[in-house]
Amino acid sequence: MDNLTQEFLAESFEGLDRMDRCLTELEARPEDAELIGEIFRAVHSIKGATGFLGFTRLERLAHAGEHVIGALRSGRVRATPEVVSGLLGLMDGLRTAILLIEQTGREGGRAEDDDSGMIAMLAGLSGDGPVVEAATQGPGGGSQWNEVSEKTLRIDVEVLNRMMNLVGELVLTRNQMLRAQGDAEGLTELTLRLDGVTADLRQTVMEARMQPVTHLFGKFPRIVRDLALSCGKSVVLEVSGTETGLDKTLLEAIKDPLTHALRNAIDHGIETPEVRMAAGKPRQGMVRLAACHRSGSVVIELSDDGAGISLSRVRAKAIERELVSEAQAAAMSDWDALQMVFLPGFSTSDEVTHVSGRGVGMDVVKSNVERVGGTVEIESREGVGTVVRLRVPLTLAIVPALVVRSGGQCFCLPQSALVELVHVTWHEARLAVERIGEAELYRLRETLLPMVWLDRVLEFDSSEWMHLEHGFYVAVLEIEGRRFGLAVDELMSPEEIVVKALTCGLREVGLFSGATVLGNGGIAMILDVMSLANRAGVHPMLDKLRGQEMAVWAEELKPRFVVFEGKMHGAQAERVAMPIGSVERIEVLSLGAVEYAGGRPLLQYGGTLLPLEDSSGVLAEMVNGRAEAATEMTVLIFRRGTERVGLPVRRVLEVAGGELLPELADESGDSMAIVGERVAMVAGERLQGVA
Amino acid sequence: MRGDAGDAEVMLCSLSVGGQMYGIDTRKIREVLGIRVVQRIPLAPKYIAGAVSYRGEVLTTVSLRALLGLPAVVSETWVIVLDGDGKRQGNAEQFGLMVDAVGGVTMVSRDLLRENPPALSDAYRGLCCGAFRTREGLLVELDPEGLRPERLAERMPGGLKKRVVDRGLG
């Protein structure tokens, strides 16, 4: 297709979009001469170009339309709903014809390409011929998206000029840098300039890709009008924040999800006028579409004042579809219950209407938005309305990320998923991670987080000893309401990375969403947080069991013990366990701090005297120097009745779940337990019994 | 490729893997990158050496050694960038090929091409178009199409599902 035709197509589509907006407004303000003028210009420019390009069918159609609009302009014809419908029909006809040219390069002479009916109808409207009923067009007719305008982009000349200037400066700086080689002093300054110019250029190129959301929102008044008509509802659309800019690719990506949500709002949300009157609401339903920038992302909010989502129906439906059990549904919070509408195959609509409810539901909306790194939230109150909130990043190509290291290799974590970073030092490492069955959990303040070890997921040679020796970092990540901790070896630096698509062979690994070239020239893979969570088996529900509940659950599952080394038996130290619930603190203290009163060892601890329980003789062994060159001791502090007591131990081995074996209790009351697959004496009861 | 019946002579870029000489039609080669460190990718199939950055893109790089079932080497490796599929212009994907060393360009006559012998092992079948008998020895012509990562994914047993990391490569 030649350039001229392509330009014509892009311009025509834009003209039709403008006409679309104006026509729906015209219905509200039939006397507005400016609107009529705008519509006239759109049709006129199509007609003007068609003669030159030789598209006779389009010319005839545009001509007939021009005639009606001319009659409108001169005031001979009033913009009645029939006329507006007729003009909308004309617009659809023009769009269909132009789409055909886009696809085939020709106007086509098929039977369905015959416009005589349309032309006669338009002639009737302009008062020149008999009135013909407007051909009924499906609501989808006017909302076909076209391909040419998706590939081309109109850029403000100002932005382009700025870009050109910056490129010029970039070349200049490069030349200077080449000359300055060897002159180290000048180089620093030049490097700084290069940095500045590059940053500006990047910003400007990003701007050039930005489009105001009005390009997308502009199509919605027509959709709302057609939908409301076919559903027998009365709906006003209020649009705000149309000047908000968004990357073109992203704009395309949210088009379908947003349209779907809009259909939902009108079809399922807004009630019929009778129902609304009965509920004491205004007759006309209100749908609001608002866009704004918020902390580095674009938020698009679609709200309606309709019936809202009935939570009892959501619960009932989820049970019916066997998505949850009855008990689960009852225990679920309202928020959680509402989020079930995002589950695949979920629809609360009782009957399938022609507009929506064909099984393509909110899950598709969600997955489409997530594909471009966005999120979807839903809020609803029965009888009051529903809000659907889409949050998308400003741009796709460049994302802020954190570079982390695992198994000697660098990986990028998108900052958008990052909640918090925690350093686990080597002496915390042993106690930081708790196990419940197969699952590993990290206790972060009041919450237990499912843990994922990056090196294990990537099947590197496991280096658990290294984590215990050197400590590790936990990146707390959150995606789609799932929060989990990702353990990595090292944190590198935050970097603005340029996302490169993966080519065949690497895409299929599934764990990476892209790759990037780092500042040092090396390649780093970008981790896909979603599939990381999936592959590691992090379930959204696990996260919901916060703090207490989780801790209780953990306790019920298996009693947990602190295992430590007690008295020496020859070369081997005795394994002793104490239920974790009775241990208050574990302290490492200097041996020199031990004082004696009446032969009993004591410690000054936290302003009080702490008696040391040394019936096993560990302390005596260490003080008498039988343990080689010990200067420090580990003390478990526990409560005996109302008193606090310290228990010196050789060293703490682990914290693990275990099982008490009461049948093996000996005459002194000591019992045994299997902890971490090895037998250990349980110290707690005997010591507590001493009191 | 062999389909171009008009050319009596063909220019092959010679390369070696495991001591054997191979050749690739120079028209299929985008660029010889020289000695490059290939970033290995965890969980990628064994025949994928990793990724290299090339003109702002991150290219999947296939290890010819692994494809031929040879053990990985720790020494320096060369990377050649091969063109995408000529039939699907635009969306064809370039990819890298990791070899032991790259030699020079040799002109060979098509007449000297011998078809793949029937006894050729499975590892070689599909990768080679045939062999030329030259003065230096046998020069096996590689079929760039057969080396494409997407083709390998279809052909290799267990291909992408078997997530094997070859730690020695790269």
Residue A415 confidence (pLDDT): 87
**The pairing of beta strand A398-406 with beta strand A409-414:** antiparallel
Q: Which amino acid is at A246?
A: L
Q: Residue A626's pLDDT band (boundaries 50, 70, 90)?
A: low
Rounded average pLDDT over A383-407: 84
Chain B residues within 8 A of A408 when measuring between CB atoms: none
CA dihedral B36, B42, B43, B45 (to 10 degrees): 10
Name the residue among A204, A83, A66, A195 with its Cα closest to residue A132. A83
Name the residue among B2, B1, B7 with its Cα closest to residue B26. B1
Q: Is B162 exposed, middle or buried (0-12, 13-18, 19+ CB in 10 A)?
A: exposed
Q: A586 and A507 share a domain?
A: no
Residue A657 confidence (pLDDT): 67
Q: A472 and A504 share a domain?
A: yes
Residue B152 confidence (pLDDT): 83
Whether A338 is in a domain gets the answer no
First to last CA, chain A: 95
Tokens representing A245 are: 């800019």
Whether A430 is in a domain gets the answer yes
ipTM above 0.85, yes or no: no
Predicted model pTM: 0.53
Which element (helix H / strand E) includes A254?
helix A248-264
Which element (helix H / strand E) includes A468?
helix A464-470
Give the Cα separation of A425 and A130 in Å (integer).
Answer: 87
Q: A673 and A564 share a domain?
A: yes
**The pairing of beta strand A482-488 with beta strand A447-453:** parallel
Residue A37 confidence (pLDDT): 82
Q: What is the number of domains present in chain A?
A: 4
Residue A413 confidence (pLDDT): 93
User: Do residues B166 and B46 lie in contact, with contact meaning Cβ atoms separated by under 8 Å?
Assistant: yes
Q: A503 and A602 share a domain?
A: no
Written as one string, the DSSP assignment of A392-441 is EES-SSEEEEEEEEETTEEEEEEGGGEEEEEEE-HHHHHHHEEEETTEEE
Residue A60's CATH number: 1.20.120.160
Q: A525 and A425 share a domain?
A: yes
Residues paired with residue A450 on neighbouring β-strands, in sequence order:
A441
Query: Who among B42, B52, B160 is closest to A458 (CB)?
Result: B42
Domain hosting residue A257, numbered range? 214-309+348-393
Give the Cα separation of B6 and B8 in Å (integer).
Answer: 6
Residue A584 confidence (pLDDT): 74
How many C-alpha atoms does B95 have within 13 Å on its Cβ side?
A: 30
- Backbone φ and ψ for A113, nearest 5 degrees, come out as -90, 5
Query: Of A101, A117, A136, at which residue does a domain stop?
Result: A136
Whether A587 is in a domain gets the answer yes
Q: A403 and A416 share a domain?
A: yes
**The pairing of beta strand B95-99 with beta strand B78-82:** antiparallel
Nearest-CA residue of chain A relative to B37?
A: A522
Name the residue among A95, A222, A219, A210 with its Cα closest to residue A146. A95
Chain B residues within 8 A of A406 when measuring between CB atoms: none
Q: A389 and A404 share a domain?
A: no
Which element (helix H / strand E) includes A272?
none
| Beta carbons within 8 Å of A611's beta carbon, 6+ residues apart | A600, A601, A602, A643, A645, A646
Nearest-CA residue of chain A relative to B52?
A: A523
Residue B96 has pLDDT above 90, yes or no: yes
Looking at CA atoms only, how far is residue B35 from chain A in angstroms? 15
Whether A186 is in a domain gets the answer no
Residue B159 has pLDDT above 90, yes or no: no
Mutate to test the interface with A, among B39, B43, B162 (most CBs of A within 10 A): B43
Residue A650's CATH number: 2.40.50.180
Could you read off the pLDDT of A38-62 as tens digits, one per residue?
Answer: 888 888 778 777 776 778 788 888 8
Query: Of A393, A424, A458, at which residue does a domain stop?
Result: A393
Rounded average pLDDT over B69-84: 85
A504·B165 Cβ contact <8 A: no
Whether A329 is in a domain gets the answer no
Nearest-CA residue of chain A relative to B51?
A: A523
Q: A35 and A96 share a domain?
A: yes
The three-point CA angle B111-B114-B119 to 5° equals: 170
Q: A261 and A382 share a domain?
A: yes
Residue A686 has pLDDT above 70, yes or no: no
Whether A170 is in a domain gets the answer no
B93·A503 Cβ contact <8 A: yes
Q: Which amino acid is at A455?
A: D
Give the Cα separation of A302 and A306 in Å (integer).
Answer: 12
A506·B62 Cβ contact <8 A: no
Q: Is A158 exposed, middle or buried (0-12, 13-18, 19+ CB in 10 A)?
A: exposed
Q: A587 and A674 share a domain?
A: yes
Mean residue pLDDT of chain A comes to 77
Rounded average pLDDT over A181-191: 74
Could you read off the pLDDT of A403-441 as tens digits, one per residue?
Answer: 999 888 999 998 888 888 998 888 787 777 877 767 788
Could you read off the pLDDT of A571-600 as tens digits, one per residue?
Answer: 777 778 887 767 777 777 777 788 888 888
The dihedral through the CA atoms of A277, A283, A289, A294 has a sign that is negative
Could you read off the pLDDT of A655-664 as tens digits, one per residue?
Answer: 766 767 666 5
Could you read off the pLDDT of B100-109 as tens digits, one per residue?
Answer: 999 989 888 8
Mutate to test the interface with B, among A205, A398, A508 (most CBs of B within 10 A): A508
Residue B158 DSSP one-character state: T
Looking at CA atoms only, how far is residue A492 from chain B in angstroms? 18
B41·A500 Cβ contact <8 A: no
Query: Of A547, A573, A593, at which residue does a domain stop?
Result: A547
Q: Residue A474's pLDDT band (boundaries 50, 70, 90)?
A: very high
Name the residue among A305, A312, A264, A257 with its Cα closest to residue A285. A305
Residue A252 has pLDDT above 60, yes or no: yes
Task: Tell how far CA A99 is from the center of its chain.
Answer: 35
Q: A100 and A121 share a domain?
A: yes
Whether A208 is in a domain gets the answer no
Nearest-CA residue of chain A relative to B50?
A: A506
Q: A432 and A562 share a domain?
A: no
- Return the percentage of chain A with pLDDT > 90, whole number: 6
Give the Cα separation of B127 and B149 in Å (integer).
Answer: 12
Which residues of A sit within 8 Å Cβ distance of B?
Answer: 407, 409, 458-460, 500-506, 508-509, 511-512, 515-517, 521-523, 525
Name the residue among A7, A18, A179, A199 with its Cα closest to residue A91. A18
Residue A256's CATH number: 3.30.565.10
Whether A141 is in a domain gets the answer no
